[in-house]
Amino acid sequence: MKIIAVANQKGGVGKTTTVINLGAALALKGSKVLLVDFDPQESLSNFFGIYGADNNIGTVLYSTINKQEINMSEFVVHNELNNVDILPSELNTMNRLEKEIIGVRSKETVLKRMFNRYADFFNEYDYIIVDCLASLNTMLDNALTASDYVLIPCQCAPLSFAAVPNLILQIDEVKEELNPSLSVLGIVTTFYDRSKNGNMTKEMLFDNYSDLMFRTIITRSAAASDSALKEKACVLSNAKDNKVSAAYKQLADEVISRVNG
Ligand SMILES: Nc1ncnc2c1ncn2[C@@H]1O[C@H](COP(=O)(O)OP(=O)(O)OP(=O)(O)O)[C@@H](O)[C@H]1O
Ligand SMILES: [Mg+2]
């Protein structure tokens, strides 16, 4: 079982879209996949038609903090169409937790303790992919502390490029202080188009982070945003001209080879 955090403190760079499509692509290739919505916004949960779930990750985290027993299987929802399991988020519980976690002992390790506490349940999966919120706060520290890898989607825009160093700094700090086995799985370019800014940012990424870059380039495409309306990952689209679908399948191959590699 491998845990991959998909993180970037910038909003709207394609984190959730990457979690959904990478997850569905890994499932297509035969892996058992759990997608964890670790963002109060509920975007991942909403994509799968789950809104304001009573049984949500916030409740599981509170049960971990308070050392109460819960039945993990009651918290996970199976999505037939995409063949993945989802551990949903819920706005109010997660917002409350985000504030209260500051006062919890070992506040960065709550998510890790959750995975350990219910290890028998979580070990059934090949991949657990954590959709992080757009922030560098304690919640992100939790995701990084609990994960084996972090995957960084970077939008092909100069301001997105400028945000990467701060994220890598925080990853290095968490690695040193809390989770020595954490590593960056890679950076994937998203929203690529042939504009001047698009090409310039892509070049800067490959020049500065050549070792970390995935070869896969996710282009800007309506297919990516449209898929949300169908509750269906775009990797499941059979349309031959769906470049984003093909790219996310290729990303899954790169992920598998780096994880096994
Ligand atoms: N390759 C793409 N081309 C066009 N639109 C995309 C692409 N990837 C994602 N989108 C759309 O852009 C918006 C933001 O994407 P997404 O929600 O995945 O970003 P995010 O990083 O998770 O955002 P947040 O920081 O708010 O959690 C969504 O409406 C999504 O459908
Ligand atoms: Mg998101």
pLDDT digits (tens, 9 = 90+) for 192-216: 999 999 999 999 999 999 999 999 9
Question: Does 228 contact ligand 1 (Cβ within 6 A)?
Answer: yes
Residue 136 in tokens: 């560098």
Q: Is the pLDDT score of 57 beyond 70?
A: yes
Residues in the chain: 261
Nearest CA to 151 out of 1, 33, 13 is that of: 13
Averaged pLDDT for residues 31-55: 98
Q: How far is residue 218's CA from residue 173's CA, in Å, rounded to a whole number? A: 29
Residue located nearest, by CA, to atom 23 of ligand 1 = 12
- Count other Cβ atoms within 10 Å, centred on residue 238: 6
Q: How far is residue 201's CA from residue 141's CA, in Å, rounded to a whole number? A: 27
pLDDT reported for residue 197? 93
Q: Is the pLDDT score of 28 beyond 90?
A: yes
Residue located nearest, by CA, to atom 31 of ligand 1 = 225
pLDDT per residue as tens digits for the range 70-110: 999 999 999 999 999 999 999 999 999 999 999 999 999 99
- Count other Cβ atoms within 10 Å, centred on residue 220: 18
Angle ∠(44,50,53) on CA atoms, nearest 5:
105
Distance 15 CA to ligand 2 centre (A): 5
Question: Does 245 contact ligand 1 (Cβ within 6 A)?
Answer: no
Question: Does 38 contact ligand 1 (Cβ within 6 A)?
Answer: no
The CATH number for 2-259, chosen from 3.40.50.300, 3.40.120.10, 3.40.50.720, 3.30.1180.20, is 3.40.50.300
End-to-end CA distance of the chain: 15
Nearest CA to 146 out of 120, 126, 117 is that of: 117
Tell me the pLDDT band of 14, cut-offs 50, 70 and 90: very high
Residue located nearest, by CA, to atom 1 of ligand 1 = 220
Question: Does 221 contact ligand 1 (Cβ within 6 A)?
Answer: yes
pLDDT reported for residue 40? 97
Residue located nearest, by CA, to atom 20 of ligand 1 = 12
Distance 214 CA to ligand 2 centre (A): 20
pLDDT reported for residue 240? 67
Q: Which region, left, alpha or beta, applies to residue 195 given φ > 0 means left and ψ of -120 to 50 means alpha?
A: beta
Atom of ligand 1 nearest to the CA of 11: 25
Q: How far is residue 203's CA from residue 190's CA, in Å, rounded to a whole number? A: 13
The domain ranges of the chain are 2-259
177 Cβ neighbours under 8 A, 6+ residues apart: none
Question: Does 19 contact ligand 1 (Cβ within 6 A)?
Answer: no
Question: Does 223 contact ligand 1 (Cβ within 6 A)?
Answer: no
The share of the chain scoring above pLDDT 70, in percent, equals 99
pLDDT reported for residue 241? 67
Q: Pairing between strand 127-131 and 149-155?
A: unpaired
Atom of ligand 1 nearest to the CA of 225: 31
| Dihedral Cα 155, 12, 99, 58, nearest 10 deg | -110
What is the model's pTM? 0.98
pLDDT reported for residue 36? 98
Question: Does 82 contact ligand 1 (Cβ within 6 A)?
Answer: no
Q: Is the pLDDT score of 238 beyond 80?
A: no
Q: Is the pLDDT score of 239 beyond 80?
A: no
pLDDT reported for residue 228? 87
pLDDT per residue as tens digits for the range 151-194: 999 999 999 999 999 999 999 999 999 999 999 999 999 999 99
| Mean pLDDT over each residue of the chain, to the nearest integer | 96
Question: Does 134 contact ligand 1 (Cβ within 6 A)?
Answer: yes
Integer angstrom CA distances of residue 50 from 78, 109, 131, 163: 11, 27, 15, 31
